[in-house]
Structure 1
Amino acid sequence: MSTIRELAGDGGPRGIFDELSKREVRRAALTAVAVPGYQVPFGSREMPVARGWGSGGLQVTLALVGPEDRLKVIDQGEDGGVNAANLRRLVVGHVGCEQETDTRQASLIQSRHRIPETPLRADQTLVLQVPVPEPLRAVERDVREQRRMHAEADYSRMWVGLYEDVVRNGVVTKTAGYPCVVNGRYLISPTPIPRFDVPKLNMAEHLTLFGAGREKRIYAVPPHTVVEPLVFEDIPFEVEHTPGAACRHCGSAESYLVEVPATDGSVTWVCSDTDFCTRNREKDQ
């Protein structure tokens, strides 16, 4: 009769993501790269983080990262955020790779809601966490109809939705996750990144992978791929900008800035990307 020790094996810690799961994610990622913008289904596993808090991006990262990589994880541009720190600690502890805060030195970057200010190179990969991958959900709730619309490239309802927004408000008010067409074919939601970051996807040097764990979807924007936001001919696409605003730390007026309320009731501005801000202050470009 087998003993408990024999049944338990060596008793060593089990990996949080097995090799078969990694292979499935890699196959889905390869399909996504081959068909830019297409949402590829995959068997999302239970992870040590809640779905909706980066489980999809975490699975993509774990499937790609190796011990020789340098991993950077940011949460809305910040390296020291709780979400970023926990995910970084989890991956580094599981894989044994090096952690990095300098965007220029990282080989793999996982991000929530931001694309780094520093332009990424061809040897770098960006993984974006996606809470809601389906851009048509705002105009069509039926999943079968969404699939038909994607299959036929029938995005008329999205155009109507943008038009109604303009009629009501005078401008397109949608900011985060602005709908874009990839490679002239598929409509995507580029995660809740601000409109400021959307142009960084167009003809980029790097590969961008989008992972949605709760919705079990992976899609991609390969290098040198055209990404166009949905815009009307007479209403140009505009990014967020506040005239006269500049970072109180580094003085930058060209980066994506976020409001910080002061104790006296006034408002100051700081760079969302903490690594960019730090290097800008130190004049280390």
Structure 2
Amino acid sequence: MKLSELTRPWSAFSYGFLDESAKREIRRRILKAIAVPGYQVPYASREVPIARGWGTGGLQVTLTLLKPDAVVKVIDQGADDSVNASSIRKFVSRVGGTVETGDTTQATLIQSRHRIPEEKLREDQILVLQVPNPEPLRPVQPDMSVAREMHADADYGQLWLILYEQLVRSGRIMQGASYPSMVNGRHVMTPSPIPRWDVPKLNRADHLTILSAGREKRIYAVPPYTSVEPLVFDDVPYRVEDHQDKACWRSGVRGFFMNELPQEDGSSLYELSDSHFGIKHIRKAAGEAVSIGETWYRNGRMAR
């Protein structure tokens, strides 16, 4: 037997890298996830040219939604220029012939790891969030078959107990990223490891949000204008990170989510987590004509 007999003739990749069968299946799963907000829909996660745990779920959804006229933005914890974000963005551009951008207002398809942009998203934009662990009940119920039954019964008492224990021990809820949130008054979801600052951005937003976990083979969604309410007690209001008085050392902007940069002398500098949002402000201060979109927050408070 010859090697040529074991290989197929060369042929080009399908548009968007994934084969049409995979795309059809993912589209059907996305439609079901939209129809039942917050519900985790299983799907056959395919192999893509990045390692599991580095955004395979988000990449599969992005490749499925690609169109030749799409404008793609990829974020890695707020940064557009990190190795992971740059590599995914270039790959999507090469297999889809799409336009790359760092500007939130210009993008039609945004894939993000752990952050939601500071500028508001529109109805014609889709946000794809990468999710390492989609199951909010895993800390209290490691048996996933039992966790599924708890979701079916809307039995979230153990999650409330965890929050109560944090209040008793620490005087406040210590849950930071992946804050459990009730979607459409029915299913509790993990809103990706986004900070508490970003969770209110999902509530009744204009855009569609799709969350995908490639390693765990789960897709769920938050349709436009759908309620997303963090689990809080009536007498203990939901609190986001207190960044109101912190200023970005590069752009001078205040009132947005910051990254803390420890210095050798023990002090800290702060930098806007949304890197391109900071670049826009720097260019505007330099006298360039820059269009900055409306933001979710104003002076550290939700602008609703």
Q: Secondary structure at the match of 1:23?
A: helix
SS in 2 for 1:109: strand
SS at match of 1:163: helix
Match of 2:230 in 1: 229
Aligned partner of 1:8 in structure 2 is 8
Aligned ranges 1:115-126 → 2 under 5 Å? 115-126=116-127
TM-superposed CA distance for 1:243, in Å, is: 5.7
**TM-superposed deviation, 1:7:** 6.1
Residues of 2 paired with 1:128 and 1:4: CA distance?
42
Q: How far is the alpha carbon of 1:62 from its aligned partner?
A: 0.4
Distance verdict in 2 for CA 1:174–1:3, change over 3 Å:
closer
SS at match of 1:173: coil
Q: 1:58-97: per-residue Cα shift (whole Å, max 9, x none)?
A: 0000000111100000101100011101111111111111
Contact 2:244 2:256 in 1 (8 A): no
Q: 1:126-275 alignment to 2 at 5 Å?
A: 126-242=127-243, 244-275=245-276
- Please, which runs of 5 or more residues in structure 2 have no aligned partner? 285-289, 293-304
- 2 CA distance for matches of 1:231 and 1:31? 28
2:69 and 2:218 mapped to 1: Cα distance?
Answer: 27
**CA separation of 1:43 and 1:6: change in aligned 2, threshold 3 A:** closer
Is the Cα contact below 8 Å between 2:118 and 2:277 reproduced in 1? yes
Alpha-carbon deviations, 1:124-173, whole Å to 9, x = none?
00000000000000111111210111001110010011101111111100
Q: Which moved more, 1:238-247 or 1:266-275?
A: 238-247
| Structure 2: distance between partners of 1:156 and 1:264 | 46
The CA deviation at 1:3 is 10
Letter in structure 1 aligned against 2:60: Q
- The reply to whether residue 51 of structure 1 matches residue 52 of structure 2 is yes
- Distance in 1, matches of 2:220 and 2:3, equals 47
Q: CA deviation at 1:12?
A: 3.6
Shift of residue 218, structure 1, vs aligned partner: 0.3
TM-score after normalising by structure 1: 0.96
Provide, for residues 221-241 of structure 1, a one-character-per-residue CA deviation record: whole Å limited to 9, x for no partner: 000000000001111000001
Equivalent-residue separation in structure 1 for 2:273 and 2:107 (angstroms): 18
Q: Structure 1 residues 142-151 or 195-204, which shifts more?
A: 142-151
Pair 4,277 (structure 1): closer, same or farther in 2 beyond 3 Å: same
- Preserved CA contact (<8 Å) 2:243 2:256: no
Q: In structure 1, list runs of 5 or more residues that go unmatched.
A: none
Q: Which residue of 2 aligns with 1:71?
A: 72
The residue aligned with 1:102 is 103
SS of residue in 1 equivalent to 2:138: helix
Q: Deviations over 1:164-209 (max 9, x none)?
A: 1111111100110000000000000000000000000001000000
Cα offset, 1:114, TM superposition: 0.1
Give the letter aligned to residue 25 of structure 2.
E
- TM-score of the two chains, using structure 2 as the length reference: 0.90
User: Equivalents in 2 of 1:154, 1:8: separation in Å?
Assistant: 52
Q: Give % identity.
A: 53
**Counterpart-to-counterpart distance in 1, 2:30 and 2:57:** 12
Runs of 4+ in 1 over 6 A off after TM superposition: none
Distance (Å, rounded) in 2 between the aligned partners of 1:245 and 1:77: 17
> Which residue in the other structure is 2:302 paired with?
none
Report the secondary structure of 1:114's partner residue.
Answer: coil
Given that 2:68 and 2:96 are in contact with CA atoms closer than 8 Å, whether structure 1 keeps it comes out as: yes
Q: Is the 8 A contact 2:80 2:86 kept in 1?
A: yes
Aligned length: 284
CA distance in 2 between partners of 1:246 and 1:7 (Å) = 59
Alpha-carbon offset, residue 271 of structure 1: 0.3
Instruction: Tell me the SS of whatever aligns to 1:27.
Output: helix
